[in-house]
Amino acid sequence: MISAAAHIELDLKALRHNVCRAREYAPQAKIMAVVKANAYGHGLKLIANYLAEYTDAFAVARIDEAVRLREANVQARILVLQGFSQLDELKLIQRYQLETVIHTEQQVDLLESEALVTSLTVWVKIDTGMNRLGIRPQQLAGILQRLQQCHHVQDEINFMTHFANADDIQDDKTAQQLQLFNQTIAPYSGLRSSANSAATIAWPETHLDWVRPGLMLYGASPVLQQTAAQLGLQPVMSLYSRLIAIKAVKAGERVGYSGSWLAERDTILGVVSIGYGDGYPRNAKQGTPVLIKHQRVPLIGRVSMDMVTVDLTEHSGIEPGDQVMLWGDGLPVEEIATYADTIPYTLLCGITRRVQVVTV
Ligand SMILES: *Cc1c(COP(=O)(O)O)cnc(C)c1O
């Protein structure tokens, strides 16, 4: 029995299925499963421990996330996508045997200043047009020369880049970025990685040696205009709560803070125990669907911290205590994201700590 009304159910079979889909999309490549931001809100330790058997490595954004993985006894290779930016971080990378991205000259300065004991695996990130992290193509030769002279950097240096627009299959920016990447690293050996989830699915030529899927592993569609179901992905997270009250509201009465919703007819209103304090988006629009007994019921009024209100007037057989699904298997998180003017990433990783986690 679940004690908290608001909870997520994590379907680990779906997770495994989605990794297999990633392998089917990119059969020649190794998989670095991206588990940053608490595994996109699903729970870092749980997800990584489960995935360890099915993936070749993990990627996280920051060092503290990687340290938490090691503390959870994850032995796999772990790449820190932001690398280090100060000496004590470099020491942690070494102590916990992490792999690091090199994306600026300052990191090379730090590497040269520090006598490390073990040798580091590095991934040099090339900025091919995203203009966020990464060195410019023309800096590469100089940086490689310096890295090769660091005794504590492994001889084989790997390369990566990141796409800005891979979710849009009409946009030729991805092909341009890939071409610049391939051209820049052509003179060198070393493993190459460029594909996020969208590129893993929609741009096969980007697969190279390692793919870095994140969102697709959790079963949401990373590609515009295509649903997860069309792509053969299954949602891992379903967010649930309960209907805690039903009441009649007369035409002309107002509901919620600042009375933002006005009943234009006599209305049967349901109160669901979920709100932005759980990570449900505060700006979910009027009409955003929730699922109760397989019926799509529309949201009305404002989302508050602990509750939302729904319109049950057109529905029958619904009672206080009924389970309510906010997104998940049968109600895609991508669809809710559209109603809330956001993307599925923010909804998944916005789940807060008071939401209980149940695995199925
Ligand atoms: C987050 C991230 C990924 C994964 O992106 P998805 O769109 O979730 O697949 C891959 N590579 C880098 C560098 C990232 O920051």
Provide the annotated active-site residues. Answer: 36, 257
pLDDT tens-place string over residues 275-312: 999 999 999 999 999 999 999 999 999 999 999 999 99
* HSE-up of residue 218 (Cα within 13 Å, Cβ side): 33
Contact 14, 220 (CB under 8 A): no
CA of 270 to the centre of ligand 1 (A): 38
- pTM for the model stands at 0.96
Residue bearing the CA closest to ligand 1, atom 3: 196
324 lines ligand 1 (CB under 6 A): no
Centre a 10 Å sphere on the Cβ of residue 182 and count the other Cβ atoms it contains: 17
DSSP state of 126: B
The full set of domains in the chain, from first to last, is: 13-218 (3.20.20.10), 237-359 (2.40.37.10)
> Which two structure tokens, joined as six digits, stand for 139?
């800096």
User: 323 - beta bridge partners?
Assistant: 242
222 lines ligand 1 (CB under 6 A): yes
Q: For residues 331 and 239, what is the distance between their CA atoms, to the nearest angstrom?
A: 10
Q: Which of 35, 100, 128, 162 to mutate to test the pocket of ligand 1 (most atoms within 8 A of CB)?
A: 162
pLDDT, tens digit (0-9, with 9 covering 90-100), for 43-52:
999 999 999 9
162 Cβ below 6 A of ligand 1: yes
Digit-by-digit pLDDT tens for the chain (360 residues) are 556 799 999 999 999 999 999 999 999 999 999 999 999 999 999 999 999 999 999 999 999 999 999 999 999 999 999 999 999 999 999 999 999 999 999 999 999 988 777 789 999 999 999 999 999 999 999 999 999 999 899 999 999 999 999 999 999 999 999 999 999 999 999 999 999 999 999 999 999 999 999 999 999 999 999 999 999 999 999 999 999 999 999 999 999 888 889 999 999 999 999 999 999 999 999 999 999 999 999 999 999 999 999 999 999 999 999 999 999 999 999 999 999 999 999 999 999 999 999 999
Write the pLDDT tens digit of every residue in 73-126.
999 999 999 999 999 999 999 999 999 999 999 999 999 988 777 789 999 999
Rounded distance from Cα 209 to ligand 1 centre (Å):
16
